[in-house]
Structure 1
Amino acid sequence: MATDGWRNFGHYGADGDPGNIHGRVALGRALEDALERMITDGGIKSPATTRRGLTARMRYLTRTQGGHAALATAGITATPATLRAWTQGTRRPRPANLEAIDTAYWTLRAHNVMANPAALKHRLNRDGRGTAMEIHPINQDVVDVPRRRENLRTRRLQVRYIWDDAVDALIAHDLRALDAIWDDIIAELDSDRGAYTYISHIGLGA
């Protein structure tokens, strides 16, 4: 694809694949994926259907601020005595309540992780070492044949110093800021930077 094709994205058919997106959008999605992994990786591994998993969830929900509200929102109307019995393992909730407890746990954990963006920043910054990033180019099968670029390939970078601003932009839903950050990232590609303004996917090693 010629250089002007990147400035006028879609003129030669690249927008024929909905998976071809601007880098700022792909960056936002990659950050959301990293946040989701952070929520699940640090969560309770044992299923709620096991005694261990149930007890761990109930302890979290009864000892963490917002836990009782999360249980109520999930549809749990049990008495304090019943909640204690579930937590101590002397009584077992019905299957529907087990599912509601699991929902309440993951909802509260997600809320608490998202309320602490510093943790995601730390995970991505890695004490200044940064995070590995894979940048996958657009799918050119939809591009007019004479305008395809044969040298496009997956690029790998070790990205540092931008993560605090990127996480802040994600939380604020600030696409303009993500746009500027993406420009900073692909600046490392020198003369190829324009070819990665639009891409298909970003993978983060975090």
Structure 2
Amino acid sequence: MSTDGWKNFGRYGADRDRGNVHGKIALGRALEDAVERMIIDGGIKSPPSTRRGLTARMRYLMTHKGGHQALADALADAGSTANPATLRAWKNGTRTPRRVNTEAIDTAYWTLRARNVLANPQLLKDHLNNAGRGTRMEIHPINQQVVDEPRRRDNIRLRSLQVRYVWDDAVDALTTGDIGKMEEIWDDVIADLDSDWGAYTYVSHIGLGA
């Protein structure tokens, strides 16, 4: 398939695999994955069943805006409540909550942490910009096995490159749902590939080393 053939994506069967998508879609998914990793990797590692893990979660909930409400909502969903004295005892580690309450505390913690990370896009921008060094990106070509055999390009390989300078705009596009801007960004990214850049307009996956 020539590079121009990507303008008519699916004519020869590439769309038979739903994993084959435009790079702008794959980039958006990769950014969402990066956010999820930031939420998890930067979170409390100790399990909520340990004293350290429990008190750390309670401190976070009691000292961050919205924490009290997040915990109240999680406890209510679990069919439970807790008065201020009980909350202080959990926070200080002087009382061990029942299992259902421990699970509610854990749910409330991760809910609030996710909300706080998502509310501050600059965190993701700084993470991806990496003090100007950028982020390593792996670009996986489309699955050629679903393409009509005479039109397959089995020589297209996984590409890896260090991507800089696009992350502020990419995060803004993700936050606002600006798919047109995401497409412009993707065009800029693949323009740094060789003359066969058009073969990566559509891809099967994008991985970010962040």
Mapping for residues 88-107 of structure 1, pairs under 5 Å = 88-107=92-111
CA deviations on 1:12-44 (whole Å, 9 max, x unpaired) are 000000110110010001001111111111100
The alignment status of 1:202 with 2:202, answered yes or no, reads: no
* TM-score computed with the length of structure 2 as normaliser: 0.96
Paired with 1:6 and 1:47, the residues of 2 have a C-alpha distance of 48
Please give the alpha-carbon distance, in whole angstroms, between the structure 2 residues aligned to 1:12 and 1:158.
32
Q: Which residue is equivalent to 1:191?
A: 195
Output the CA distance in 2 between the equivalents of 1:53 and 1:150.
50
Structure 2 counterpart of 1:11, one-letter code: R
CA distance in 2, matches of 1:143, 1:68: 54
1:117 aligns with 2:121: yes
1: distance between equivalents of 2:5 and 2:25?
19
Q: Deviations over 1:161-197 (max 9, x none)?
A: 0000000011111111101100000011142111000
Where structure 2 has 5 or more consecutive residues not aligned to the other structure, the ranges are none
What's 1:51 paired with? 51
2:88 maps to which of 77, 84, 88: 84
Amino acid at match of 2:130: R
Q: How far apart are the structure 2 equivalents of 1:19 and 1:100? A: 36
Is 1:10 matched up with 2:14? no
Distance in structure 1 (CA, Å) of the matches to 2:33 and 2:131: 21
Task: Identify the range of structure 1 (185-194 vs 47-56) with the bigger mean alpha-carbon deviation.
Answer: 185-194
Distance in structure 1 (CA, Å) of the matches to 2:72 and 2:91: 16
Among all aligned residue pairs of Structure 1 and Structure 2, give the percentage whose two residues are the same amino acid: 73
2:187 aligned with 1:153, yes or no?
no
Find the counterpart in structure 2 of residue 66 from structure 1.
Answer: 66
Tell me the CA shift for residue 92 of structure 1: 1.0
* Deviation by residue 1:80-133 (Cα, 9 ceiling, x = unmatched): 000001111111111111111000000000111111111111111111111110
CA deviations on 1:128-159 (whole Å, 9 max, x unpaired) are: 11111000000000001110113200001110
Any conservation in 2 of the 1:5–1:12 contact (CA below 8 Å)?
Answer: no
Structure 1 ranges of 4+ moved more than 4 A: none
- Structure 1 residue runs of 5 or longer lacking an equivalent are none
Using the TM superposition, give the Cα deviation of residue 79 of structure 1 relative to its aligned residue in structure 2, in angstroms: 0.4
CA RMSD of aligned residues (A): 0.9
Query: Does the aligned pair in 2 maintain the 1:133–1:202 contact within 8 Å?
Result: yes
TM-score by length of 1: 0.97
Amino acid in the other structure paired with 2:35: L
Contact 1:134 1:203 in 2 (8 A): yes
Quick one: distance in 1 between partners of 2:100 and 2:164? Answer: 46
**CA separation in 1, counterparts of 2:48 and 2:63?**
17
Q: Contact 1:2 / 1:148 at 8 angstroms: preserved in 2? A: no
Partners of 1:122 and 1:173 lie apart in 2 by 20
Cα pair 2:144 2:154 within 8 Å, conserved = no
The structural deviation recorded for 1:5 is: 2.5
Are 1:27 and 2:27 matched, yes or no? yes
